[in-house]
Structure 1
Amino acid sequence: MKQSLLVAALIAIAVSACGKKEEAAPVAPAAEQAAPAAAQVEQAAKDTVEAAKEGAADQVEAAKEGAEQAVEAAKEGADQAVEAAKEQAK
């Protein structure tokens, strides 16, 4: 008798559970929550690119200045060599 009551209770629970349908979690709120994060990532990427551009421009400017200084030093060295050659020729 106890076993038949237990079996009947299990069947009743199984049948009642089969009738319930769970609703799917809405996907739209997750997409809406992801939009601000995506915007932040996009802005961070833009900021990084801009910083890289500025860094590259600074490096180019420093290279130009270094090249100009090297050219000036070479000119001065050449002028001194010409003067020394003139002095020795006298």
Structure 2
Amino acid sequence: MKMPSNKLSMILLATVFSFSITACEDKPAETLGERVDEKAEQLGNTIEDACEEVKEGVDAKDSDC
């Protein structure tokens, strides 16, 4: 199956554009991963704190979550 040249050009342009966006990233992937881990941990702590507050509010025997 032969592709029209304009369709092939668009695919090539999209590929080059995708790689150029990735190459221009200011922070390396490792730094970005560390930031995601840090935010996930903060969110987990916030959820755990809220859970413990609710359990304390209803006088649960076990206030740990």
Query: Quick check: which has more Rg, 1 or 2?
Result: 1
User: Could you say which structure has the greater relative contact order, defined with CA pairs below 8 angstroms and 6 or more residues apart?
Assistant: 2
When normalised by structure 2's length, the TM-score is 0.50
